[in-house]
Amino acid sequence: MSHAHLDAFLHAIHGRDANGLLDHVTNEVTLWSPIFPEPFQGKEKLRAVLSVVLGAIDRFEVVEVMHGNAHSAVAFRLDAGGITLDGMDLFEFDSTGLVATLKVMWRPLPAIVAMQNRIAPLVGAPLMSLVTATAAAA
């Protein structure tokens, strides 16, 4: 399978071009985010969410790209306002090579919560918090 759509998608991410990546996804694309409980479905929702995320990050660095038969995984590091995240994007493709599903995974947990707090106000979502077991028991 050609990885041309993935390469172009990543090029658009590096250029912070949420509109430019739309030619490389299916109309029914599904985005699973690490900071919102429900998936986003469709090109317009993907564009809207990634526009906000891309506007909130300072640096996106691809560490490694791994390919399977109908999927690829992209290990990356991103910085946003003093927050550093390591992540993995799992891309699933349709028969033409377009991105059909994107599952985003981040670590560590405190940085995920900090990033959610940075993005949530921009999309009208409630803020999440990380509570230690000691604080929860008090």
Q: What is the CATH number of the domain that holds 75?
A: 3.10.450.50
* Distance (Å, whole) CA 114 – CA 40: 21
Could you tell me the residue range of the domain that residue 77 belongs to?
4-137
**pLDDT of amino acid 59:** 94
**pLDDT of amino acid 119:** 92
Count: domains in the chain:
1
Residues lower than pLDDT 50 in the chain: none
Contact 22, 47 (CB under 8 A): yes
* Distance (Å, whole) CA 131 – CA 88: 25
Q: What is the pTM of this model?
A: 0.90
